[in-house]
Amino acid sequence: MSIFEQYGPRQVINGCGKMTVLGASAVDKDIAEAMGRAAMDYVEIAELLPAAGRVIAKATGAEDGCPTCGASAGIAISTAAVISGTNVDIIENLPHSSGLKNEIILQKGHAVNFGARVTQMMMLGGGKPVEVGCANLVAADNIENAINEKTAALFYIKSHHAVQKGMVSIETMVEIAHRHQLPLIIDAAAEEDLHKYIAMGADLVIYSGGKALEGPTSGFICGTKALCAACRMQYQGIGRPMKTGKESIVGLLTALGKYASRKPNGDLQKQRMHALLKDLEDIEGVHGSIAQDEAGREIYRAKLVIDEAVTGIHAVEIAHKLESGNPSIHTRNYYLAQGEIFVDPRPLLEGQEKIIAEKIKEILREAKGNQSNGRN
């Protein structure tokens, strides 16, 4: 029985991904124990924050770091930091930033909704988002022409939510930003490489603690010493309602420590998804394959293409029936309209791929029966 069921919510089987709406990650025993120990003790938060920054710096190759309650808070705090620096008077008045350098330039194909609007997170930090180019095509000149005396930073979203083609590259964004003596902020919330973007020249990089890291609900910012100091100071301002507790910080740092020694598990992902596909291979109207993540990460999901004419049921209805049951089974449903269901192996607990396959077969048997009855 799931611990949450005693309070009313159904048990969830997460075949969607490290999604905030599903609780992000299920942490391992070592992380849970570390969080428990932190919860039963005390610490000066003013000492813990820079100490955490040093651990984050070591893990990422950055000069410094700042823990946050999540990657979305990291966007607001990073935005505030490039506007205010460590000026307490500005920090205490944000998000009001009239008269300051407060414009944050981002590509139109990066102005996404990840559960909330990226641009809204910037505005919480006092930023004025400036979207440039078109949703499917942005040129370097679009970035250059938007820069003026009010520009505080350039912002790049590295995410499967963002448009993957036709955007200005990170390398070009770094070159433009630094030529104009502006910081480049990268939102790399779900990215797996903690060193890459700092090494490429980004000034601040934002990560989620509960996604690739498989830590608790948390996040962190890494980057230059001056900007990370400014990020930590936002906890005296707009960061206050976004503050992260001692338990989450210790859980995050424990996850960072374990992440460094984690081995790639792409082969295990494929193995689990091949097992799911094998359970479904004899079902007419269902074509299964393995698909790599659309943003190029080392994530391998099962892809099920549903032929409604054969199965008698559309992928949309299958996904609805999976989610409405108990346990509630969540698949990755970005391409449901095209008849495609994806299953992500990373958040699945042991043996849950078998439960998903059995439930899909049950739904399809019911649909086939209804199809036959309709002909009689």
Q: Model confidence over 269-310: pLDDT tens digits?
A: 999 999 999 999 888 999 999 999 876 778 899 999 999 989
**What are the DSSP calls for 219-235, one per residue?**
EEEEE-HHHHHHHHHGG
pLDDT of residue 7: 85
**Cβ neighbours, 10 Å, residue 148:** 11
**247 and 275, same domain (yes or no):** no
The enclosing domain of 318 has a CATH number of: 3.90.1150.180
148 and 279, same domain (yes or no):
no
pLDDT of 78: 98
Considering the domain architecture, whether residues 245 and 269 belong to the same structural domain is answered as: no
Task: Please check whether residues 92 and 240 belong to one and the same domain.
Answer: yes
Same domain for 209 and 142: yes
pLDDT at 372: 60
Please report, as a single letter, which amino acid is at residue 114. F
What is the spatial distance between Cα 153 and Cα 123, in angstroms, rounded to a whole number?
13
**Is 206:226 a contact under the CB 8 Å cutoff?**
no
222 forms bridges with which residues in the sheet?
65, 205
pLDDT confidence of 260, banded at 50, 70, 90? confident
The residue out of 224, 240, 259 marking a domain boundary is: 259
For residue 20, pLDDT beyond 90: no
Higher pLDDT, 270 or 371: 270
Rounded distance between C-alpha atoms, residue 328 and residue 326, angstroms: 5
- Specify if 107 maps to a domain: yes
Ranges 73-77, 240-244, 281-285: which has the least confidence: 281-285
Question: Helix, strand, coil: what percent of the chain each, to 5?
Answer: 45, 20, 35
Domain boundary pick from 192, 224, 259: 259
Question: Is the pTM here over 0.75, yes or no?
Answer: yes
Domain final position from 259, 282, 311: 259
Q: Which is higher by pLDDT, 85 or 21?
A: 85
- Residue 245 located in a structural domain: yes
Residue 36 lies in a domain: no
Mean residue pLDDT across the chain:
92
CA angle 108–110–113, rounded 5-degree value: 110
Q: 101 and 247: one domain?
A: yes
Residue 150's identity, in one-letter code, is K
**Range list of H helices, the chain:** 29-39, 45-60, 71-84, 88-91, 118-124, 140-146, 170-179, 196-199, 225-233, 246-259, 266-280, 308-311, 315-324, 352-375
Residues 223 and 201: their CA atoms lie apart, in Å, by 9
Q: Domain range spanning residue 335? A: 3-19+264-375
**One domain, residues 12 and 80:** no
Judgement on whether residues 176 and 299 belong to the same structural domain of the protein: no
Residue 35 lies in a domain: no
Same domain, 113 and 79: yes
**Chain-centre distance for alpha carbon 168:** 21
> What is the predicted pLDDT for the residue at 373?
61
* Residue 270: Cβ within 10 Å count: 16
Q: How many domains does the chain have?
A: 2
4-18, 82-96, 178-192, 222-236: segment of lowest average pLDDT: 4-18
Query: Is residue 34, in this structure, part of any structural domain at all?
Result: no
Question: Which of residues 110 and 5 earns the better pLDDT score?
Answer: 110
Residue 30 domain-assigned? no
**Domain-located, residue 78:** yes
Q: Classify 61 as helix, strand or coil.
A: coil
Q: Indicate if 249 and 337 belong to the same structural domain.
A: no
For the stretch 77-133, pLDDT in tens is 999 999 999 999 999 999 999 999 999 999 999 999 888 999 999 999 999 999 999
Residues 196, 326: one domain?
A: no
Question: Does 358 map to a domain?
Answer: yes
pLDDT at 162: 83
343 shares a domain with 324:
yes
pLDDT for 201 beyond 60: yes
CATH number for position 72: 3.40.640.10
